[in-house]
């Protein structure tokens, strides 16, 4: 056996042991989360799961009914007595008519573009602001925090007129910038992140400062990695809020090519009157991206609620 073999085997063993330790620690963390959410004993856990299943079923029944109705012909959707399975069978006519009547693909792209950019830039602005108010000492910090809290309680409808006048003065009406820029400031996200950053132990700051880390390095290498669960939850909140925003895009855009999905689809439905199957089909199209986003990131939401995120996992 060569010396090289002798020196490489222990390294492999240590690496394998390290991976096994990480998997075991992750399993223990998941078990702690389950105990925290569902209870530590078998009885409370069964009761909690039963209640959750019942509540989930009650929540899903209207969604399933709406989904089934969107695949019905209009006469089957309004015929009495109401049935889940129509006599003439399910059809894709409502979806075909919806996509044929308007530029749904363009509106969906606009909604996705606006929601993604608003989410990215909102977090890019809110996270450093929350870090500064949580970790840095500067004159006027208390006043700035009070102003942030005061901005949370201001109804956004009060800002529509000054925001519209500002967009007109900047010649940004009927542009993506006019739709995106006013949605970037969300004081509630700053407050939520600031409260989370306050819970991060100050000992980590002291250790980083001893190593010569600046505030920016402390923010990027210590605070942000520990804040992934809350950042993911905040990102989902901002994304859903931007996707569902109807009032501001409706006011600031008149070009059909710049409309978002919540603005464009009602224009189609209003022009054809009240059709329940068509309305539910449009609702399913508008809600589908939200369902996908939630399914992909639901574990981050649960983790942000069930834990403090200090483990950095």
53 is written with which tokens? 């299943």
Longest dimension (CA), the chain: 84
pLDDT at residue 305 is higher than 80: no
Q: Do residues 104 and 98 lie in contact, with contact meaning Cβ atoms separated by under 8 Å?
A: yes
Residue 81, preceding peptide bond in cis (omega within 30° of 0): yes
Q: Cα separation of 165 and 171, whole Å?
A: 10
Task: Give the separation between CA 14 and CA 17, rounded to whole angstroms.
Answer: 5
pTM comes to 0.73
The dihedral region occupied by 212, where left means phi > 0, alpha psi between -120 and 50, and beta the remainder, is left
Predicted local confidence at residue 274, as pLDDT: 63
User: What does the mean pLDDT of the chain come to?
Assistant: 80
Tell me the pLDDT band of 273, cut-offs 50, 70 and 90. low
Q: Quote the tokens at residue 158.
A: 């009060």
Say yes or no to pLDDT of 7 above 70. Answer: no
Average pLDDT over residues 121-137: 91
Report percent pLDDT > 90 for the chain: 18
Q: Are 296 and 89 in contact (CB under 8 A)?
A: no
Contact between 133 and 141 (Cβ < 8 Å): yes
> pLDDT tens, 8-24?
444 444 444 577 777 77
Residue 84 has a pLDDT of: 76
Instruction: Kindly report which listed range (3-7, 135-139, 185-189) carries the lowest average pLDDT score.
Output: 3-7
Model confidence at 301, in pLDDT bands (50, 70, 90)?
low
pLDDT tens sequence across 109-123: 999 999 999 999 999
Among residues 139, 151, 179, 186, the alpha carbon closest in space to that of 261 is found at 179
Q: Which residue has the higher pLDDT, 115 or 283?
A: 115
């Amino acid at each position: 056996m060569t010396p090289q073999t002798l020196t490489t085997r222990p390294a492999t063993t240590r690496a394998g042991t390290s991976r096994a330790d990480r998997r075991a620690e992750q399993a223990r963390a998941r078990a702690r989360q389950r105990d925290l959410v569902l209870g530590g004993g078998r009885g409370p856990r069964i009761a909690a799961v039963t209640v959750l299943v019942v509540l989930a079923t009650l929540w899903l029944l209207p969604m399933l009914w709406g989904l089934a109705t969107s695949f019905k012909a209009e006469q089957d959707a309004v015929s009495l007595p109401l049935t889940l399975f129509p006599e003439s069978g399910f059809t894709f006519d409502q979806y075909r008519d919806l996509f044929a009547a308007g530029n749904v693909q363009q509106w969906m792209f606009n909604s996705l573009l606006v929601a993604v950019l608003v989410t990215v830039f909102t977090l890019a602005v809110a996270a450093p602001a929350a870090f500064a108010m949580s970790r840095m000492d500067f004159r006027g910090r208390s006043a700035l925090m009070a102003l942030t809290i005061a901005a949370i309680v201001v109804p956004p409808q009060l800002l529509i007129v000054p925001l519209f006048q500002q967009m007109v003065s900047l010649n940004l009406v009927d542009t993506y910038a006019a739709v995106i820029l006013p949605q970037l400031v969300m004081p509630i996200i700053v407050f939520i992140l600031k409260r989370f950053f306050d819970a991060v132990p100050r000992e980590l700051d002291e250790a980083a400062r001893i190593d010569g880390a600046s505030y920016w390095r402390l923010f990027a290498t210590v605070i942000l990695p520990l804040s992934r669960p809350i950042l993911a939850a905040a990102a989902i909140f901002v994304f859903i809020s931007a996707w569902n925003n109807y009032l501001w895009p409706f006011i600031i855009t008149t070009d059909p090519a710049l409309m978002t999905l919540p603005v464009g689809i009602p224009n189609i439905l209003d022009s054809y009157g009240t059709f329940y199957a068509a309305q539910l089909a449009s609702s399913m199209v508008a809600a589908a991206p939200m369902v996908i986003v939630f399914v992909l990131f639901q574990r981050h939401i649960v983790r942000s609620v069930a834990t403090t995120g200090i483990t950095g996992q």
